[in-house]
């Protein structure tokens, strides 16, 4: 079901550029401070393409999307970027640390046929937002290039894909082997042998793909495909915009790590411990864990362990309290009684879903004004940073939860359901700038 194709990748010239100086996090993980640092680090840093500044005094082109295209063309003319002479597949290995453990995972970078979600050949798992898709669409229109990776998963139960990839690796040397600012290792291999490519294509042909990261970029490519077909008045299905560059990982790869995304809340009135206990005691056993502040690492470690090791258990820190409140679900029958009846049992047992439909969705009782979640709830991946924001009064409280598992993602997605927004944070992210895919052939 997955149509895998090699492509002539566009890569930084190793004779001109130190790759570790020009790669970045994905565009949606780049903060203004990171953007400034990437700009400073190297004048050819890929950030100038994927997330250029609105105003760049170093360049005369004011429109950042057209500027990205100008830079890509100029860097190719100057030999900063080089185009692969032959079509290739690329293998991308990340080696990193998570929770004190050394891990690694191996992905396949390929050009893959775009499929509408209705085909069930490519499955999303999260909702998307229009404004992000419009931004990426403007960049794609301007550059006509897939400038970043989309992170997808597949099931390789028979290990056929693993064997084909391993066989290809035996005969090639790494084209890149670098460490990033976190000390994580990134290796890239180029597969150009036609027999190796054919074996990998055949092994991947029956795979159903699940989008892990990059929903906005995938839907952007679908929109661009439709736009080009309308513009030309036809589509044979083999034009380059019918494909998108992806990095594919086996669902059973032990190097796949999902981290939690914490929830920050504000705009509530009359919010105190007594009110919270009263509001949620019908469904949760509620207890407290003392915590004296950001220097109390032992207290924070204790509450994190409680959340991570207990079923359907959450913690919240409320500005002004000297403790965390721990909420532990009394029994799973509550989920079927209180949850959306249109949702599957698997969806209703996701901790992130429980947090929303039993707790966050009901916070409107603490304010006389309408509780608009788009304005009152935010998402943060670094817990310590979130706690700082609550203690500083920027937000009123933060919720801790454990991440969903890969098995849960698969169960929900294969039932045709979408998980709540920001349900997964795959770690680490795929670096941008390792290889680009021009849509010109």
Q: Is the pLDDT of residue 130 over 90?
A: no
Contact 313, 379 (CB under 8 A): no
Confidence of residue 421 (pLDDT cuts 50, 70, 90): confident
Helices (H) and strands (E) in the chain, counts: 15, 21
**What is the tens place of the pLDDT at every residue in 360-410?**
999 999 998 889 988 999 999 999 999 999 999 999 999 999 999 999 999
Burial label for 57, CB within 10 Å (0-12, 13-18, 19+), is exposed
Per-residue model confidence as pLDDT tens digits over 148-171: 999 999 999 899 999 999 999 998
Which three-class secondary structure string do you get for 253-288?
A: CCCCEEECCEEEECCCCCCCHHHHHHHHCCCEEEEE
- Tokens representing 94 are 């990340």
Residue 82 pLDDT class (50, 70, 90 cuts): very high
**pLDDT value of residue 100:** 86
The full set of domains in the chain, from first to last, is 4-256+427-438 (no CATH), 261-402 (3.30.1760)
pLDDT of residue 234: 83
**Angstrom distance (rounded) from CA 368 to CA 361:** 15
Enter the pTM of the model: 0.92
Query: Considering the chain, what is the average pLDDT of its residues?
Result: 94
Give the DSSP per-residue string, 163-181: HHHHHHHTT--EEEEEE-T
CA angle, 268 then 385 then 53, to 5°:
100
Alpha helix ranges (H) inside 52-156: 64-77, 130-143
């Amino acid at each position: 079901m997955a149509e895998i194709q090699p492509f002539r990748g566009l890569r930084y010239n190793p004779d001109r550029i130190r790759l570790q100086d020009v790669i970045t996090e994905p565009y949606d993980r780049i903060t203004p401070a990171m953007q400034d640092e990437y700009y400073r680090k190297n004048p050819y840093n890929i950030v100038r393409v994927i997330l250029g500044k609105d105003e760049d005094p170093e360049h005369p082109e004011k429109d950042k999307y057209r500027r990205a295209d100008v830079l890509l063309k100029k860097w190719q003319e100057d030999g900063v970027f080089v185009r692969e002479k032959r079509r290739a597949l690329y293998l991308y290995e990340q080696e990193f640390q998570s929770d004190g453990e050394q891990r690694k995972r191996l992905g396949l970078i390929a050009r893959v046929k775009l499929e509408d979600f209705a085909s069930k050949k490519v499955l999303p798992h999260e909702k998307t937002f229009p404004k992000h898709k419009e931004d990426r669409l403007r960049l794609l229109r301007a550059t006509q290039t897939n400038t970043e990776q989309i992170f997808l998963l597949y099931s390789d139960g028979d290990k056929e894909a693993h064997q084909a990839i391993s066989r290809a690796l035996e005969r090639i040397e790494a084209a890149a082997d670098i460490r990033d600012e976190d000390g994580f290792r990134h290796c890239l291999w180029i597969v150009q042998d036609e027999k190796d490519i054919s074996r990998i294509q055949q092994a991947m042909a029956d795979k159903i793909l699940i989008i892990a990261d990059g929903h906005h970029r995938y839907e952007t490519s679908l929109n661009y495909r439709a736009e080009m077909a309308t513009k030309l008045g036809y589509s044979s299905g083999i034009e380059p915009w019918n494909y998108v560059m992806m990095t594919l990982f086996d669902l059973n790869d032990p190097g796949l790590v999902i981290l939690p995304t914490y929830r920050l809340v504000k705009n509530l009135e009359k919010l105190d411990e007594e009110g919270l206990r009263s509001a949620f005691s019908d469904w949760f056993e509620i207890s407290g864990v003392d915590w004296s502040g950001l220097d109390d690492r032992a207290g924070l470690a204790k509450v994190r362990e409680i959340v991570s090791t207990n079923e359907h258990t959450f913690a919240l820190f409320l500005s002004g309290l000297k403790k965390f409140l721990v909420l532990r679900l009394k029994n799973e029958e509550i989920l079927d009684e209180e949850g959306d009846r249109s949702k599957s049992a698997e969806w209703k047992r996701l901790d992130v879903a429980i947090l929303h439909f039993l707790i966050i969705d009901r916070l409107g009782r603490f304010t006389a004004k309408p509780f608009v979640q788009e304005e009152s709830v935010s998402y943060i991946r670094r817990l310590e940073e979130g706690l700082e924001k609550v203690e500083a009064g920027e937000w009123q409280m933060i919720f801790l939860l454990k991440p969903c598992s890969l098995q849960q993602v698969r169960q929900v997605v294969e039932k045709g359901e979408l998980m709540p927004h920001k349900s997964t944070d795959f770690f680490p992210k795929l670096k941008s700038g390792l290889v680009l895919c021009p849509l010109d052939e």
